[in-house]
Structure 1
């Protein structure tokens, strides 16, 4: 039934511009959930369903929209816009840990302080003299991410994390938590990953990043993925280390995170000598 539904959508004669590929994905997710509630599990990875859905995406899906990469200087400007209170200690640490670790927003809020085995935990962090080690449960299994101490106190992720832990009195459990309305103490509840997205968008606006664009366009440009894209684009190291840090199974996915300003760093035209041909004429 689902296969026939998707087959109809894949047919050009029945295609409606109002019915986007993302809409089809959402409707399929609803069908999967509905079947599960009725005790009839539906596997969207079934060969027939996956084949038809892939054909729909091939014919009708627009090119993927990449989020803007946040650079190191952007992070500094974003942090400078935050007020000086308990919440700012947390938010500074979120931005810096997320950027330095190339983390997904769910990985940021899923961290615990030390290994407590909390059911909703996505991993934990251990802090040492040289820096912090993050133990993360990712798509490809458990991995370790090392974040060293920086030379600048204002932009060192570990240095910014330690005051939050001290003043929020966190010695275990969720690392990043909600605070009281008065913002004078931390609660037990873990932050939602939506907070990371809102934090990035708001600080981007306040810092005046890409100020030549209308506010609506600037908000659309940035998201939680902007931190990961920023690390992938800025880190001048072998691609395989970036791939490992970002938890990508394939190098091609890592290259998607490396934005255009770095596209020509390893360009084959330049390596072949064609870019300097004019100088020889």
Structure 2
């Protein structure tokens, strides 16, 4: 999944609009309810609500929003073609994928990765409604294989923020309360190789809030983060830096001390004058905006127009920067980032010694 799910031109309403939140609520009611053979009761109804809450927690909020948009777009497309989205029709879905790849009317053709994501969204939505979408059906699999063969391109990667870049970025921040917070966000996110959602979901302690995504324990040698990440719970160790000016743990301590935060969300909003910490947890979009603003202020990639510079960097630039800058064995970087394979870690390494293992020479040539 992509960290951002911006509305593409192809997701604009076709005909009447559908509210995705209403669609998700209706899906919740359809997917989880008391069996018709069982008499309803107050306790069972409460369990249904509890089960629905757990079902929503099975995927991230961004993923659920994206899946709701996927279904709403497909349902509108079906109605425009005089068809119904239920029950699933492999033939119609094959035609839908072909339409997405070729583009129709004012809607441009979508990338292969977006089409793949759309198909995953449809499969998930059908499963929630009690249907099974057979992605191996020839009407779907063959069309998708042809789309990939004809239109697939190497993935577009965001620029990595390297060590010198991050130092230049934090140097642009003031030393008021808001500046202390943003400095801690950048340094902690970089040193931890954290996703932007992981940064803002941190709490001071375990079980501080219902929506916690992990917590922090500050020790003499560094900070220990327990994260509920995409692949499950993992532990991230962030050691102290060589100086207080660049140390992520020191920056975190400064923010928590002056913001007077010892419970609940670690990163919260500030008052308009920037002198008081509020109670509301920051949205993960703040991290993306912070990165882009500091990239401009620090003059990074000043050889490019501002629009191109902004497009080059995102929240993932912090993870890519750590993977590209850390001069340690690859397996340590893989563990730190929580990747299941070394191949995934290598995708994040924008610079590395690609020919360290020379099989040509090893084979005798």
The alignment's TM-score, normalised by the length of structure 1, stands at 0.85
Change over 3 Å in CA distance of 1:8–1:46 after alignment to 2? closer
SS at match of 1:217: helix
- Conserved 8 A contact 2:214-2:226: yes
Based on CA coordinates, which of the two structures has the bigger radius of gyration? 2
Aligned to 2:170: 79
Superposition deviation, residue 3 in structure 1: 3.1
Change over 3 Å in CA distance of 1:271–1:111 after alignment to 2? farther
Could you tell me how far apart the structure 1 residues matched to 2:227 and 2:134 are? 26
Aligned to 2:129: 40
Change over 3 Å in CA distance of 1:51–1:178 after alignment to 2? farther
Could you tell me how far apart the structure 1 residues matched to 2:361 and 2:317 are? 30
Superposition deviation, residue 61 in structure 1: 3.2
Superposition deviation, residue 140 in structure 1: 2.7
Q: Is residue 5 from structure 1 mapped to residue 129 from structure 2 by the alignment?
A: no
Aligned to 2:37: none
Aligned to 1:266: 356
1:113-162: CA deviation from partner (whole Å, max 9, x where unpaired): 11125221111110011110000112332111111111211100010111
Q: Figure out how many residues of one structure are paired with residues of the other and give that number.
A: 271
Superposition deviation, residue 2 in structure 1: 5.4
- Conserved 8 A contact 1:10-1:52: no
Aligned ranges 1:46-125 → 2 under 5 Å: 47-48=136-137, 51=141, 55=145, 56-125=147-216
Could you tell me how far apart the structure 1 residues matched to 2:361 and 2:215 are? 43
1:85-109: CA deviation from partner (whole Å, max 9, x where unpaired): 1101110000000000001111111
Aligned to 2:9: none
Could you tell me how far apart the structure 1 residues matched to 2:299 and 2:144 are? 40
Taking CA–CA contacts closer than 8 Å with sequence separation of 6 or more, which of the two structures ends up with the larger relative contact order?
1
Q: Is residue 136 from structure 1 mapped to residue 227 from structure 2 by the alignment?
A: yes
Could you tell me how far apart the structure 2 residues matched to 1:118 and 1:57 are? 43
Aligned to 1:15: 102
1:214-261: CA deviation from partner (whole Å, max 9, x where unpaired): 1111111111111101110111111111111111111111000011x3
Q: Is residue 191 from structure 1 mapped to residue 278 from structure 2 by the alignment?
A: no
Q: Structure 2: 5+ residue runs without aligned partners?
A: 1-87
Aligned to 2:260: 169
Could you tell me how far apart the structure 2 residues matched to 1:156 and 1:106 are? 21
- Conserved 8 A contact 1:243-1:251: yes
Could you tell me how far apart the structure 1 residues matched to 2:102 and 2:214 are? 44
Change over 3 Å in CA distance of 1:221–1:35 after alignment to 2? same
The alignment's TM-score, normalised by the length of structure 2, stands at 0.66
